[in-house]
Amino acid sequence: MTFIRFFLLIFLIVLPAMADDFSHGISIFGDLKYPKNFQSFDYANPNAPKRGEVKFGVEGGFNSLNQFILKGIPASGLSYLYDSLTESADDEISSRYGLVAEAINLASDKSWIEFKLRKEARFHDGIAITADDVVFTFNKLIAEGHPSYKMAFRDVFAAKKINPHLVRFIFKNNRNRDLPLLVASLPVLPKHFYEKIDFSKTTLQPPLGSGPYKIKEVKPNRSIVYQRAKDYWAKDLPVNRGRYNFDQITFDYYRDANVLVEAFKSQKYDFRQENVARKWATAYDIDAIKNGEIIKREIMHSLPAPMQTFVLNLRREKFQNIALRQALTYAFEFEWLKNHIFYGAYKRTESYFANSEFGSKNVYLPQSNGDGFNRENLLKAREILLKAGYKFLDGKLIDPKTGEKITIEFLIDQASFEMIIAPFVKNLRKLGIEAKVRLVEENQYQTRVNDFDFDVITAVFGQSTIPGDELFAYFHSSQKDIKGSRNLSGLDDKIIDDLVKKILHAKSKNELKNLTQKLDLRLLTNHYTIPQWHNNSYRILYRDIFEFPKIKPKYSLAVDSWWVK
């Protein structure tokens, strides 16, 4: 950093607030949908009654109530405890409206952003939320939080308290298009609470928050219960009106996916989103659905499809060879799975930006007739390997560089995935690859993934409606050696690094589309992962105890706007 640039940043920190150019919201592209004095989001009913108890089922377990660090497995629902500076709307893209902050002021040159805090904002213990808490939160997350925070806020030079209710974030540069929105989404933690609590450690002590719910009861690995905060300071703000209507929310944990399904069918919990096509097609032929006690619905959505994919760990020397990666892509037979396991419910994912306008249209993955033999594709895979110098010795594939047999382990933490991977393993063995599946429990799985101790895993790379900073987390080489980072494959590709940075700096939607399509093409043609499948709908089941607003948002189920009959 040059001396002049450093001087300017320091100058911005000590500079008093400029003219009042504050707004009630902020958006990346285009105008805000909701005007300054809007009463509620369109998909919320401001007259919805607040009552009732709701239960959700969760597979697995939890051992921590600290969701902000790498260690531990946090409980579901912890976000209910915390308010952020701003709140997103589920019916528009890349926009946020004031929550803890009543107004936002983004510098015309985008070199800084200010937040004017609401004087009525309170934590659950009644203590006011101030700029000290915002600055504390930012610094604590950078220093001791999950590595994703340090990555997301890498272009923030400093957070500065201007006065007790005004905070300014100074940016290192004005090229990161998403940075103002990322900063605006910052949750606010209580400084006075964490001065007595070690933030860097897992804990089962209920944390202090400021959000719509408090923790009522905790049973580690079994359940967590949230009670609506009836004295919630922000309950009548436009961003909250008609939302958070359940008096009590319980998350019950089940160790086994099949038991979780059976528990729902017995109506031990109230809502389920079914992500397994086979279960959606076969598991719910029950009286409770036939007589209307349980509602089964499929709702189409407009969200970009997440890239669910087999991640190849490029930190392993064997995966550095593009020929092996390409051969693996040919060995995966989606068509057989679609016909025999998925009941025709899924589409093959052929883009990192599927179901959106940002993906490349010029890449086609290998296809088969779905007969389970995959003969033509396996012959093509063998041809690719032989051409690259691989040899077959006693039926085993030999690495041309090391002379060692090629072995591949698929690491999973869900037993239901074994039947999906089994045909893939069978095809790999036909290529002389010693492939196997290793099933481990959730905590061990997460530890191994955080440490990049795997050959192949299944991961989901969710995409925002406007591609941006998440791509840096997924694909930029600076993230590949950071424990717990989302660069799971260990990508180190300078062309991709350059494309990701240009995407973050794109000034128009057309420029952005051109760049994301180039990125998509580069990722797919280098076979860094093996894309799986997706669908463009929510498959949900719920007990007939809910009512809903008349208007449904375009980009979410918005369950927090439902209420109990």
Amino acid 21: pLDDT: 85
**How distant, in Å, are the alpha carbons of 140, 199, 217, 269, 419 from that of 431?**
50, 50, 53, 46, 20
Q: What is the pLDDT of residue 20?
A: 55
- What superfamily would CATH give domain 307-534? Dipeptide-binding Protein; Domain 3 (3.10.105.10)
Pinpoint the residues of the chain covered by CATH 3.10.105.10: 307-534
CATH code at 213-302+537-564: 3.40.190.10
Exposed/middle/buried for residue 52 (C-beta within 10 Å: 0-12, 13-18, 19+): middle
**Which residue spans within 349-433 are E strands per DSSP?**
391-393, 396-398, 407-412
Determine the pLDDT at residue 125: 98
Determine the distance from the C-alpha atom of residue 93 to the mean position of all C-alpha atoms in its chain, rounded to a whole number. Answer: 16
Concatenated DSSP letters for 40-59?
Answer: S-TTS-TT-----EEEEEEE
CATH 3.40.190.10 positions along the chain are 21-41+71-194, 213-302+537-564
Give the chain's length. 565
- The Cα 309–Cα 326 span in angstroms is 14
Confidence (pLDDT) at 4: 40
The pLDDT of residue 364: 85
Q: Does domain 21-41+71-194 have CATH number 3.40.50.720?
A: no
Phi/psi of residue 215, nearest 5 degrees: -80, 130
Q: What is the pLDDT of residue 193?
A: 97
Low-confidence ranges of the chain (pLDDT < 50): 1-19
